Structure 1
């Protein structure tokens, strides 16, 4: 029987486990950036009612950098390491920056659901990205390589490590 060089796809359970771990890592990153911003501004990130215009984009850029650097340098975020999975091309090669950027952009689209709070309640707004990400993961149930929507769009996959 010939040996295959194609990477073994990671299961949906491993992917969800890594998502949960990464949610904790992202929470810690956001908290550290928030602390540094508070220290740098002397506690004046808000004027009492408004958050400074630069604060949320800065948080987004730092979180985006976490994912991009993790995927392009080693293929693993902190959440992917204990689950022994890595992001790679469909052929198993490391993700180039362009593909990682597409993966990040498509994967972050459900965050636009947060804008629902203008039309409804904050509860709806907080559930919208969760529902969006669940929809993004649905293709992984039927795709032979268990790719989610952002994997398909970027030509990437999550491979299981030996």
Structure 2
């Protein structure tokens, strides 16, 4: 859905969530390499040792990954699903805006994680809480005028459909 003829169309919620899930799958590789690097450099022998330092390290690594690729327009998953991140005028986003988008994208997870921590919710129930919140957060995009995710609206960014490289645009 799009409200202006000069703006690229917003990908469907189904396509954006498929991209989101694929991004999560690809992040396993990033976590593996970063976790191996952290464990080697810190000489951590037990996974529970230094876990808060590892979490902070992964937060920074994720930030570098996403800010780098978003400032270039797309992550690997976004390329696969022909989705691009742009600013509200349709231009490429700066690293500063990508960093803001990264910080705000934690709204996908922080509310249920905070509730789980505050109320000491056990693992399985916490997982249900997180999955439920992710579904609610995704569905809330239906209430945005351009059907964008709310963290994108707050960051001044948009997800738009993009043609694969080498695909000619249709003549108007």
C-alpha distance after superposition, 1:73-92 (max 9, x if no partner): 1x111111111011111221
Partner of 1:18: 19
Q: Give the TM-score, by structure 2 length.
A: 0.79
Partner of 2:93: 95
- 2:83, 2:130 → 1: CA distance? 24
Partner of 1:138: 139
Matches within 5 A, 1:93-132: 93-112=91-110, 113-115=112-114, 116-117=116-117, 119-132=120-133
- 2:66, 2:35 → 1: CA distance? 18
Question: What is the RMSD computed on CA atoms of the aligned residues?
Answer: 2.2
C-alpha distance after superposition, 1:75-123 (max 9, x if no partner): 1111111110111112210112232222222211343222415522111
Matches within 5 A, 1:47-66: 50-66=49-65
- 1:5, 1:120 → 2: CA distance? 47
- 2:120, 2:53 → 1: CA distance? 25
Is the CA contact (8 Å cut-off) linking 2:141 and 2:148 kept in structure 1?
yes
Is the CA contact (8 Å cut-off) linking 2:107 and 2:151 kept in structure 1?
no
The offset of 1:52, in angstroms, is: 4.8
Partner of 1:35: 36
Q: Give the TM-score, by structure 1 length.
A: 0.84
In structure 2, the gaps of 5 or more residues are 164-172
Find the residue that maps to 2:84 and give its secondary structure.
strand
Structure 1 segments, 4+ long, off by >6 Å, are: none
Query: What count of residue pairs does the alignment treat as equivalent?
Result: 157
With 78-87 and 117-126 compared, the bigger mean Cα shift is at: 117-126
In structure 1, the gaps of 5 or more residues are none
Partner of 2:170: none
Is the CA contact (8 Å cut-off) linking 1:87 and 1:159 kept in structure 2?
yes
Is the CA contact (8 Å cut-off) linking 1:45 and 1:51 kept in structure 2?
no
Is the CA contact (8 Å cut-off) linking 1:37 and 1:45 kept in structure 2?
no
Find the residue that maps to 1:157 and give its secondary structure.
strand
